Amino acid sequence: MNNFEYVRAEGLDGAARFVAGHHGAKFIGGGTNLVDLMKYNVEKPTALVDLNRLAMRSVTELPYGGLRLGALVTNSEVAYHPVVSAKYPLLSRAILAGASAQLRNKATTGGNLLQRTRCVYFYDTAVPCNKREPGTGCPAKEGINRSMAILGTSVSCIATHPSDMCVALAALGATVQVAGTQGSRSIPFAEFHRLPGDQPQVDTTLAVDEIVTSVDLPAAGFAGHSAYIKVRDRQSYAFALVSVAAGFELADGIITKAGIALGGVAHKPWRNAELERSLLIGKPANRDTYHAFQLALLAGAQGYGENDFKLKIAPVTVVRAMEQAAHEGEQA
Amino acid sequence: MVGKLALEQRKDLAVATTLTVNGNTHTLDVEPWTSLLDLLRERLQLTGSKKGCDHGQCGACTVLVNDVRVNSCLCLAVMHDGDAVTTIEGLGSEGNLSPIQQAFVDHDGYQCGYCTPGQICSAVGMLKEGHAKTEADVREQMSGNVCRCGAYPGIVAAVRHIMATSQTEGAR
């Protein structure tokens, strides 16, 4: 790990100004991913600005019925929060499907959004990687790509976003609140992460000096009908090969609201709200509907060899998650 | 001599850090890149916590920070100024084992013992969290602690024994 300066942030403004004014400075929250990347010399910050003393550690109910998760609330605290468990069970399930208890106890809400890919080439400084060193190439396309993306890839990068929590946040339609030297703004979850394109080194639409202050959940949380299914190599403590977060609101067997997002298949949680409107809303909650939807959602998916199996697993996992969500709460 | 410059540490970047470890308060000048694990082992000679993978994957470094279990290898020590840390050395000692330590002995919860301090600190943290009710819960919530000897059945039995005898308070 390289030498760096340590700064304890006393306020949002000062923290943002420090990072804006110091080349190579980074914010740190829980640090479970950043410190690991620093040990591999993938991240080499000149300074770390510790955000942990800032007042972003509470969960508060919003006036319109939503829930604000402060950026420093740990993944464990969110997963086991009574309001989250009751109103947003999809989020609890997704978080508890990820990492280990120790990591969830340390990792923060904001940091979970900002974790980097676990692509083996990204982690190995002895090999090229366009995400780590733009312009050097991507050996993953013809290499070890079992865990890599099948949707939204580019010539430059086929990495996946590793989060489980973010898949649920995408399905729920959360909003990310951020603050920086240019003021504060709200980012719809679907616009927070980006596809690699020709700039795979840029994971999100966040500016360098912007800090995630909270993640806001909408009033509707699919409390009655949701499911999170994660396909992985081990039963616990493994990243998703394919995961699906599915949430419905139903009226007499007809879908009135839907949120379906996939993890493990793309550079960001994969959701298509347009397809949900055209193929799910107003349709009966049955297997024909789910099948037609997955065909459209996964159209254009492409394998790279080792990850070809995802082309078979993703469709059935989408259908299974939608069935499980629709039937949640029914007597067997 | 080789690589001396590259290895030279910027001592001027050290930050005064106060930690209470197993009830004893220490104030140390700490370089920001020092992990909590390295501080415990190298500065305080508390070598119970183990450096297995040093990447948060094996759980051998698990300690309790303000009673919450974390991977000390992924904690920067300077970020824990003012915090209270409990390591395996703070749970019990030779001839004065805590109930959970005794349960690991009684139920064959280890073979080589390398992962054991982390397993026990993790178990104490899990019992405090209070979300584990069944054997499946214990296995899932202890999955961040890897045992290469495969002593898992004994580890689960030891933890289940403590749960059954409701000695969670005494587990400290």
Q: What is the pLDDT of residues A201-228, one digit of tens each?
A: 999 999 999 999 999 999 999 999 999 9
Residues of B in contact with A2 (CB under 8 A): 33
CB atoms within 10 A of CB B32: 22
- Residue contact A101–B122, C-beta within 8 A: yes
Range of the domain at B77: 10-88
* A5 vs B13, B55, B126: nearest CB: B13
Q: Report the residue of chain A nearest B75, measured CA to CA.
A: A31
Q: What is the pLDDT of residues A20-60, one digit of tens each?
A: 999 999 999 999 999 999 999 999 999 999 999 999 999 99
Residues of B in contact with A6 (CB under 8 A): 13, 15, 32, 76, 78
Distance of CA A106 to the CA centre of its chain: 17
Is residue A77 assigned to a domain? no
Give the full edge-to-edge strand order of the sheet including A25-28: A5-8, A47-50, A25-28
In this structure, are B59 and B99 located in the same domain? no
* A101 vs B32, B79, B141: nearest CB: B141
The pLDDT of residue B9 = 67
Q: What does the mean pLDDT of chain B come to?
A: 93
- Which of B88, B109, B139 is where one domain is finished? B88
Q: What is the CATH number of the domain that holds B136?
A: 1.10.150.120
CB atoms within 10 A of CB A66: 19
pLDDT, mean of residues A97-108: 98
Residues of B in contact with A1 (CB under 8 A): 33
The pLDDT of residue B4 = 47
In this structure, are B54 and B116 located in the same domain? no
Q: Which H helix or E strand runs over B122?
A: helix B116-129
Range of the domain at A295: 225-327
Does A28 reach chain B within 8 Å, measured CB to CB? yes
Q: Report how many domains make up chain B.
A: 2
Banded pLDDT at A330 (limits 50, 70, 90): confident
- Which of B56, B71, B88 is where one domain is finished? B88
Does A236 reach chain B within 8 Å, measured CB to CB? yes
Q: Report the residue of chain B nearest A28, measured CA to CA.
A: B79
Give the minimum alpha-carbon distance from B111 to chain A in angstroms, rounded to a whole number: 23
For chain B, how many helices (H) and strands (E)? Answer: 7, 5
Check whether A312 has a pLDDT greater than 60.
yes
Please report the residues numbered 32 through 91 in chain A whose beta carbons come closer than 8 angstroms to any beta carbon of chain B: 32, 35-36, 38-39, 48, 50, 52, 76, 80
The one-digit pLDDT tens for each residue of chain B (172 residues) are: 344 444 566 778 999 999 999 999 999 999 999 999 999 999 999 999 999 999 999 999 999 999 999 999 999 999 999 999 999 999 999 999 999 999 999 999 999 999 999 999 999 999 999 999 999 999 999 999 999 999 999 999 999 999 999 644 544 4
Is residue A155 assigned to a domain? no
According to DSSP, the residues that pair with A250 across neighbouring strands are A255
